[in-house]
Amino acid sequence: MKKILCISDAATLAMHTLGILAVHPEKVLSTKELASLLNASEHHLSKVLQRLAKSGFIRSVRGPGGGFCISQGWEDIRLMDIYELMEGPFRPSGCLLGNPVCNAGQCILGDLLKDINNQIKEALVKTRLKDLVHSFDKNKNSEI
């Protein structure tokens, strides 16, 4: 069965990384530091960081003490921007089975899937990184 919402590890890491960097916009954090905070593979995270840097969401800082920091204008980054960078265009699932079996195109669930997909899309479009910074409480990341 298909899932209603499937967000890859890469997209999840991207969203969380941007959240951490947004809480500490003055800091430069290494891949190792970020991977430790996220309990993630450095190798996998480095690929995510490369895509985020290429997109302009973060900046790469070279040399001793180098790493990554959030780019200016981060407040206006939408969750949909991050999602589509990592996943491609938002394409909601029209059927949980993936292979419609309902008669005449009338889903047994009615408009439930359509409504849920619209809510998810609206939330990703409306929610900006600045709206989520409070979720990344500075006290939780006090070691940064």
CB atoms within 10 A of CB 135: 10
Any domain includes 1: no
Structure token pair of residue 134 = 């409070």
**Tens-place pLDDT, residues 10-67:** 999 999 999 999 998 989 999 999 999 999 999 999 999 999 999 999 999 998 889 9
Q: How many domains does the chain have?
A: 1
Q: What is residue 34's predicted lDDT score, i.e. its pLDDT?
A: 96
Residue 89 CB partners (closer than 8 Å, separation 6+): none
pTM, entire model = 0.84
Any domain includes 3: no
Any domain includes 144: no
Structure token pair of residue 72 = 């200016």
Mean pLDDT is highest, among 9-23, 87-101, 112-126, for 9-23
- Domain holding 52, by residue range, is 9-135
Any domain includes 4: no
Q: What is residue 24's predicted lDDT score, i.e. its pLDDT?
A: 86
CATH of the domain at 53: 1.10.10.10
3: confidence class by pLDDT, cuts 50, 70, 90? low
Distances in Å between the Cα of 39 and the Cα atoms of 55, 82, 102 are: 24, 20, 43
The answer to whether 42 and 32 have CB atoms below 8 angstroms apart is yes
Q: What is residue 1's predicted lDDT score, i.e. its pLDDT?
A: 46
Any domain includes 28: yes
- CA 82-61-30 angle, to 5 degrees, is 75
Q: What is residue 63's predicted lDDT score, i.e. its pLDDT?
A: 87
138: confidence class by pLDDT, cuts 50, 70, 90? low
Structure token pair of residue 10 = 């890469």
Q: Where are the beta strands (DSSP E) in the chain?
A: 58-61, 67-70
**Tens-place pLDDT, residues 61-86:** 998 889 999 999 999 999 999 999 99
